[in-house]
Amino acid sequence: MSVRVDTQHLSGFVGENEYKALAPQVKLAHEMLHNGTGLGNDFIGWVDLPTNYDKEEFARIKEAAKRIQANSQVFIVIGIGGSYLGARAAIEFLKSPNYNNMKKDTPDIYFTGNSISSTALSELLAICEGKDVSINMISKSGTTTEPAIAFRVLREFLEKKYGKEEARKRIYCTTDKARGTLKQLATKEGYETFVVPDDVGGRYSVLTAVGLLPIAVSGADIDALMAGAAKAQQEYNNADMFTNPCYLYAALRNMLYRKGKEIEILVSYEPCYTMMCEWWKQLYGESEGKDNKGLFPASVVFSTDLHSMGQYIQQGRRSLFETVVLFDKAKQELYIGNDPENVDGLNFLEGKSMSYVNEKAFEGTVLAHTDGGVPNIVLHVPDFSEESLGALIYFFEKACAISGYLLGVNPFDQPGVESYKKNMFALLGKPGYEEQKEALEARLHK
Ligand code: PA5
């Protein structure tokens, strides 16, 4: 199995009967997902995406990545939410959070359009001065304000730097195949475009061009990434939660939620996993947090956060559980040397690897936290390869869908995200929002 689930640190928190009681509901959720009879069934294209994707476009993505690698020192990815997090998470996981500072023959990669900070965008423009730049604008709807503003600024920057003709060759757009302002603009200007399939929502789109082009530009192997996801598609295709770890994870979250655990903390012991936690938070938060229900997804990186959030987890309100993601093999290993004077008193660790120390940190923590009343689910992933990441992405996506169905929500919509947008448009004076503007301003300036 690509991802294994260890339940030993749940004993005393979840009983045998609870597993048995939930198994038929998991089977039902599986049938709803696979027969397309569940809520949001027009957004389940990701289920067989690892084996059923546009091969011609996939080849075009690899060609575009090679071109960008050859002609750019900086590659800028513009997008927000599902059009941003997966690519960044995969690059930091597969390469490094320090990717841009590493010695490499691929471009530096920056992400923008994921906030409305003028400082952040100005800094990026300054970084680009004197460098060759290409950009990838990603927006499924093609209308999201944050990336649209960044795209306008960066397009102007490229056109001033290279002239319209050359700039055109350096702009790549990933969007709907036919609809939306971005598609219209790309067609008018002649930018190369890639497609976000109709039936794949933003937060399930990392294995489409949305994630694949930036990941390929970083030099990671997207064939291997898809192969890992395809393996997971096969492995996690069975309705029985006792033999399908993906469904077991979904069921365990649901069992813990039903008994009052309201917060799930995703735990990693590797800093390169930090952005994967952000991707996971979006996936689960947007999929489940609705109809006044849902686990609140949080995350920590240990042992860093054992020196901050560790106190709360050990002794704060008992409304949380942890899901720990462990890797069986380190990406790179370091061994602790000998100091003849042993001034720091660390000679008892001589010859030990840092992974060994990290493992003991996990073991000590899991025992302390379970003693403190915090149930722990442990997920085991073989390594940091593209195959393992592809499988892990698929594992989390599928578990999320099953988990959403167990909760009785539509795991594929995000109606709540619209509320702030409507208010912001009204307050900015967007045509068509005149009435709301007046009402909102009256509330603000009471
Ligand atoms: O998961 C989602 O659907 C959202 O987070 C979107 O990805 C996000 O709002 C960006 O939307 P778009 O790609 O249309 O710009």
Rounded Cα distance between 258 and 64, Å, is: 48
Q: What's the gap between Cα 384 and its chain centre? A: 15
d(CA 86, CA 202): 10
State the Cα–Cα distance between residues 194 and 209, nearest whole angstrom: 6
Q: State residue 363's pLDDT score.
A: 98
Mutate to test the pocket of ligand 1, among 111, 141, 173, 413 (most ligand atoms within 8 A of CB): 141
Q: How far is the CA of 444 from the centre of ligand 1 (A)?
A: 28
- The DSSP symbol for 416 reads T
Q: For residue 204, what pLDDT band results from cuts at 50, 70 and 90?
A: very high
Neighbours of 123 (CB within 10 A): 13
Do 41 and 274 contact (CB within 8 A), yes or no?
Answer: no
Helices (H), strands (E): how many in the chain?
15, 10
pLDDT in tens, 216-228: 999 999 999 999 9
pLDDT higher than 90, residue 271 = yes
| Residue 27 CB-density burial (10 A; 0-12 exposed, 13-18 middle, 19+ buried) | middle
For ligand 1, whether the C-beta of 208 sits within 6 Å is: no
Tell me if residue 421 is catalytic.
Answer: yes
Q: Residue 50 to residues 80, 248, 358: CA-CA distances in angstroms?
A: 23, 21, 33
In angstroms, the CA 362 to CA 360 distance is 5
Span 239-262, pLDDT tens digits: 999 999 999 999 999 999 999 999
User: What secondary structure letter does DSSP report for 429?
Assistant: T
Q: How far apart are CA 317 and CA 100, in angstroms?
A: 40
- Helix, strand, coil percentages (3-state) for the chain, rounded to 5, are 55, 15, 35
Structure tokens at 114: 């994921």
- Whose C-alpha lies nearest to ligand 1, atom 15? 139
Give per-residue burial for 242-275: e unless 16+ CB within 10 Å, then b: eebbbbbbbbbbbbbbeeebebbbbbbbbebbbb
Torsions phi, psi for 228 (to 5 deg)? -65, -40
Which one, of 384, 376, 391, lies nearest residue 246 by Cα? 391
The contacts of residue 162 (CB under 8 Å, 6+ apart) are: 170
Angle between helices 85-94 and 209-217 (to 10 degrees): 30
Q: Is 202 in the pocket of ligand 1 (CB under 6 A)?
A: yes
- pLDDT of 440 > 90? The answer is yes
Please, which pLDDT band fits residue 35 given cuts at 50, 70 and 90?
Answer: very high
Residue 193 beta carbon below 6 angstroms from any ligand 1 atom:
no
Confidence check: pLDDT of 1 > 90: no
How far is it, in rounded angstroms, from Cα 247 to Cα 267? 19
The whole-number average pLDDT for the span 11-19 is 95
Residues 6+ apart with CB under 8 A from 237: 244
Residue 230 contacts by C-beta under 8 Å, 6 or more apart in sequence? 50, 51, 390
User: Residue 177: helix, strand or coil by DSSP?
Assistant: coil
Q: 202 CA distance to ligand 1 centroid (A)?
A: 5
Nearest to 47 by CA among 406, 395, 353, 422: 395
Reference 366, options 273, 303, 319; nearest CA is 303
Q: Is the predicted pLDDT of residue 446 greater than 90, yes or no?
A: no
For 280-321, write each residue's pLDDT tens digit.
999 999 999 999 999 999 999 999 999 999 999 999 999 999
Q: Is 86 in the pocket of ligand 1 (CB under 6 A)?
A: no
Q: Is the CB of 245 under 6 A from ligand 1?
A: no
Beta bridge partners of 135: 76, 171
Distance CA 208, CA 216 (A): 12
For residue 112, which of 129, 99, 124 has the smallest C-alpha distance? Answer: 124
Confidence of residue 417 (pLDDT cuts 50, 70, 90): confident
- What DSSP string runs through 111-161? EESSS--HHHHHHHHHHHTTS-EEEEEE-SSS--HHHHHHHHHHHHHHHHH
ipTM of the complex: 0.98
